Each structure stands twice: as C-alpha cells, then as structure tokens.
Amino acid sequence: MTDATETDTARDLSSARTLWDLLARRAARTPDRPVLLQEDRSLSFGELRARAERVAAGLFDLGVRPGTVVAWQLPTRIETVLLSFALARLGAVQSPVIPFYRDREVGFALRESKAEYFAVPGTWRGFDHTEMARRLGAKGVFEAYDRLPDGDPAVLPEPPAEGTSVRWIYWTSGTTSDPKGVLHTDRSLIAGGSCLAHALRPASADIGSIAFPYAHIGGPDYMVMLLLYGFPAVLFEQFALPDALAGFRRHGVTMAGGSTAFYSMFLTEQRKQPGTKVVPTLRLLAGGGAPKPPELYHSVVREMGVQLTHGYGMTEVPMITMGDPDDDPELLATTEGRPPEGMEIRIVDGEVRLRGEAVCRGYLDPAQSAAAFDPEGFLRTGDLGRLTDGGHLVLTGRLKDVIIRKGENISAQEIEDLLHRHPAVADAAVIGLPDAERGERVCAVVEQLPGAEELSLARLTAYLRAEGLSVHKLPEQLEVVDALPRNDTLRKVLKYKLRERYSGTVK
C-alpha cells in the first residue's frame, strides 16, 4: 500500500493549476520512473514531458495556438497520450472522440465543436478514418498513429497559467440517442482524478491498466492518478479477453478494471480455471460508469481472490464517489463509496445532485446547460439514490429508468439486481414499455449463461416472487437475447435501443 511520503506527495501535486503543470511537477520529482507501458515499449515521466513538448512545437508549426479547437479520434496508444499532453501544453481546446464512432457521431462532434483540426489514426482495424474525415469535410485533418508532428520547443509560447478555462469538450457516452458536448477544465479533470487516486491509494510499485478508450473521460481521470502517485499503466489498444490476458501477465498488472462489464469478463475467464488466479499479480479491480450488482462483487472477491472497489462517475463529473479498499465488504457490495472532500452531494426528491470542482462547466448548448443546473448551482444527474448515515452513496436507479405501472413507481435496478443472482442469467436489463392498459409494463431482457436451461417468463417470475419481489413489480414480458446492446466505451447497456426494439411487441 501507499506509504505516508507518497500520499503527501500526491496531495501536494493535486494542487497543480493545469494538467501540464501536474506533468511538469511529476517529471521533476521522478523523471526516470516509467508511466506508460505498451507491448515492448515504455515511456518515463521525464520522456513524456520532453516528447510532448516536441509534439507541441510540431503542432504549433501547423498553426495550432492557445484556444484552437482540435478534435482527435485515436485508439489507446502512447502516441495518443503524447498528443493530448502536447495540446495541453499549448492550451488548445481538445475534443476527444471515441475511435469506434462513425459518420453520424463524428460529424456531429466536428460540427458542434467547430474543430479547426482533426487527428485520426489513418486506417485502423480495417476502417479508413482519413477517408471518413474527408467525406465529412473535416478541417485540418492529419494522421497521428505512430508518427506525430515534431518541432523545436524553443518556438513555444509559455504554458497556460490557469486551469479554469474550458479546454476540453467530451461527448456523452451514448446511453441515450443524442450526445451532448460536455465542457471541462484542467482543474475539473484533476479534481476528478484526485478523487479516484486518493480513494484507491495506489503505491509506486503498482502497475495499472487502461483497457478502455483513452478518448473516454476515464482517460485523463486515470492519467491524473498515475501522475499523482508516480506509477505506470499498461495501455491496451484493443481489449478483448482472453487475448489481452498475456499483456496483463507480462507486465504484472496489479490494478485492472474499467466498468461492471470488465469485472464480468475477468470473472468469466477465472471460471475457466478455478483455483488458479487468472492474473497472478492482480490485487484490485476498480471502476465505475455502470451499476454494479451486489452479487457480482461477492463473486469476484470469492472466486478471483482480489478486492473490488466500485465508484460513481459520468462524463459530466468524472469521479463522484469511490469505494475504499478498507471499507466493510457489505458497503463495497451495496454502495458506490463516499465522495471526496470538496464534492457536495444533495438528494432532492430522490435525485442525486452535485456541486464541486470536478463538476463540468455545462454543455456546448446553452439551453442544455440551463436545464442541467438547479438555482443553487447543483448539477441534476438524473440518477436516483440515497446517502447512508456514514455518507456512502446508494444508487437506486435513473429518473428515466423508473417504470410507472398503473400509477406505481418501479425501480428497474431493484429487479436487475435480483436477476443477476439467478443461476441461469449472465446479464439483464429491465425496461418499461408502453402499455395501453397499464401505462407501462415491465419487460426483462436477459442474456443466459451458456448451457443453462432456457428461461421462461413463468419460471422467472416464480424465482423473483421467491426472492421477495412485490407482485406489482414482476415482469410481464421476457426477452432472451444473445447479447445486450452496449456502447463501445465502458460497455454500458443501451436501454433506449431495447425500448426501440420491443416497444411494438405485445406479450
């Protein structure tokens, strides 16, 4: 675990004004320690700072200046991190785009952000991003996969002196059909990453991992943690199990995760070889971004022999709460952890509302910003929850995920948590569907475990009744699918697609 000196250093560094300031401070303290590992390559903190300055100079030669909007759609690579820090050095406005997005989403992001430059990987995983950029009429297109702009740092202006200006435009992750441009500052990203770092308390001997798209809000969140505590992470350009296990084992990863779906994927691999740790060095799974069924927590701890700490975050607020590895197991299973100092949580009519430095500045669309904040400056999250006496947050669902059946409110998450305990269920989503008689009816959509007996609605409702679920909450429709639709970042289930698919069905 982290010693007192490392903790003091991390808390001192968390006061950095900008992301570039944070990198410069870390590079001055531990220039030779590795920070990024990928296959047979590595980069130290000192090399990250020096190389990012040369890339910044190359970008400056291209015409990028402080305040220039630069969109980039790049996979999780060392070069991507270098480009992002080079843009931070210049004080440009960055608009990261998830690399799996295509014409509709990319075109929307480019138009709304008014990007003046667009960095793409060329042809990646069989798709020509350069051609798409030209098709969309993108400005200033340049490829940035294994080669980056290069120049003499002597041409550079002074680094940005403050971190409270909007320099990041992130895009909501796609669990609703229409993305929003979310406005962040360097300080809001540092505050979010500090929450994650101080909760997990990593040591310099730890080896982390970034197995999700670096263009996700979790990219800088995790990078801030590396800079605060001075340890490295393995980057995975393409994450799929079991193929990625070789990379985890080769580098001796001690901390892994990303979201609930990642925990399930590791658990599936562990079950192929019970009694033998799937990653021998692994001690901790951590993440957020989606609800965590309590049974999944208990299964991971019991079968994998590692700790699991789950948190709560969103594109608008990269880290809100985080479980503490020393928390009581029941708290780790049933809550999202506690907020850090400086994060205010208020529950208003059941809704979780937030105020603090890690909260975004709003949205690109002023009307969306006006609707998102209450008169006291608290962000309306749309999530439902409650605080325990000890200050732990328990999420109970989404405002839009409340099913109103015959005038009674039903929590989809309550039913989902019970379904995850069913021995034949691999994953589940519960949705409300329009119903002329009831207003909405409850529909359960499940993935079954391989080899399990096929589920029927009668058997499923009998199980839920035996588990104590009230009769008025029982599903009236069951759909069994090979795979639930998910986004390409943290693998969140896209419930709007399920509603679109099944709204016309009558059972």
Q: How far apart are CA 389 and CA 191, in angstroms?
A: 25
Same domain, 154 and 278: no
- Among residues 398, 431, 447, the one where a domain terminates is 398
pLDDT at 499: 87
Looking at per-residue confidence, does 10 or 27 come out higher? 27
pLDDT at 178: 62
Q: Phi and psi at residue 345, in whole multiples of 5°?
A: -120, 130
pLDDT at 176: 45
Cβ atoms < 10 Å from Cβ of 399: 14
pLDDT digits 0-9 by tens, 452-492: 888 999 999 999 989 988 788 899 999 999 999 987 666 77
List the one residue out of 215, 236, 239, 235 whose CA is nearest residue 97. 215
Same domain, 69 and 205: no
Read off the pTM: 0.84
Q: What is the CATH number of the domain that holds 153?
A: 3.40.50.980
Residue 507 covered by a domain:
no
Residue 383 covered by a domain:
yes
pLDDT digits 0-9 by tens, 240-278: 899 999 999 999 999 998 888 889 899 999 999 998 999
Same domain, 387 and 414: no
Alpha helix positions (H), 214-353: 218-229, 245-251, 260-270, 294-304, 329-334
Residue 149 covered by a domain:
yes
Same domain, 389 and 457: no
| Region 386-408 average pLDDT | 85
pLDDT at 10: 87
pLDDT digits 0-9 by tens, 449-458: 988 888 999 9
pLDDT at 497: 87
pLDDT at 470: 79
The rounded mean pLDDT for the chain is 92
Same domain, 56 and 81: yes
List the one residue out of 31, 32, 170, 164 whose CA is nearest residue 113. 170
Q: Is pLDDT at 334 greater than 90 in this prediction?
A: yes
At 289, the pLDDT band (50, 70, 90 cuts) reads confident
Q: Is pLDDT at 76 greater than 80 in this prediction?
A: yes
pLDDT at 411: 82
- Among residues 187, 205, 225, the one where a domain terminates is 187
Q: Is pLDDT at 16 greater than 50 in this prediction?
A: yes
Q: What is the CATH number of the domain that holds 411?
A: 3.30.300.30
List the one residue out of 65, 3, 26, 344 whose CA is nearest residue 191. 344
pLDDT digits 0-9 by tens, 183-219: 999 999 999 999 889 889 899 999 999 999 999 999 9
pLDDT at 175: 44
What is the torsional sign of CA 396, 401, 403, 408?
Answer: positive
Contact in structure between 312 and 345 (CB atoms under 8 Å)? no
Same domain, 236 and 177: no
Same domain, 141 and 247: no
Same domain, 459 and 382: no
Q: How far apart are CA 320 and CA 190, in angstroms?
A: 13
Supply the DSSP string of 168-219, one letter for each residue.
Answer: EEEE--SSSSS--EEEEEHHHHHHHHHHHHHHH---TT--EEE-S-TTSTHH
At 1, the pLDDT band (50, 70, 90 cuts) reads low
Same domain, 206 and 162: no
- Sequence-distant (≥ 6) Cβ neighbours of residue 82 within 8 angstroms: 43, 48, 51, 52, 55, 148
- Among residues 398, 428, 461, the one where a domain terminates is 398
Q: What is the CATH number of the domain that holds 246?
A: 3.40.50.12780
Domain that holds residue 220: 196-398
Residue 371 covered by a domain:
yes
pLDDT digits 0-9 by tens, 432-448: 898 877 778 999 999 99
Alpha helix positions (H), 41-161: 45-62, 78-90, 103-113, 129-135
Split into its structural domains, the chain has a count of 3
Q: How far apart are CA 10 and CA 188, in angstroms?
A: 17
Contact in structure between 325 and 356 (CB atoms under 8 Å)? no
Q: How far apart are CA 89 and CA 53, in angstroms?
A: 7
Burial of 460 (0-12, 13-18, 19+ CB in 10 A): buried
Q: How far apart are CA 347 and CA 264, in angstroms?
A: 30
At 105, the pLDDT band (50, 70, 90 cuts) reads confident
H/E stretch holding 320 = strand 317-322
| Region 83-90 average pLDDT | 98
Q: How far is CA 106 from CA 49, 95, 115, 492, in A?
A: 30, 11, 11, 20
Residue 272 covered by a domain:
yes
Q: How far apart are CA 37 and CA 49, in angstroms?
A: 15
Same domain, 18 and 116: yes
Phi-psi region of 231 (alpha: psi -120 to 50; beta: other; left: phi over 0): beta
Q: How far apart are CA 209 and CA 38, in angstroms?
A: 10
Q: Which residue has the tokens 């001997």?
A: 205
Same domain, 180 and 254: no
Q: How far apart are CA 311 and CA 49, in angstroms?
A: 30
Residue 17 covered by a domain:
yes
Same domain, 93 and 207: no
pLDDT at 490: 65
List the one residue out of 432, 449, 428 whose CA is nearest residue 493. 428
pLDDT digits 0-9 by tens, 171-192: 985 444 567 999 999 999 999 9
429: helix, strand or coil: strand
pLDDT at 505: 66
pLDDT digits 0-9 by tens, 126-154: 999 999 999 999 999 999 999 999 999 99
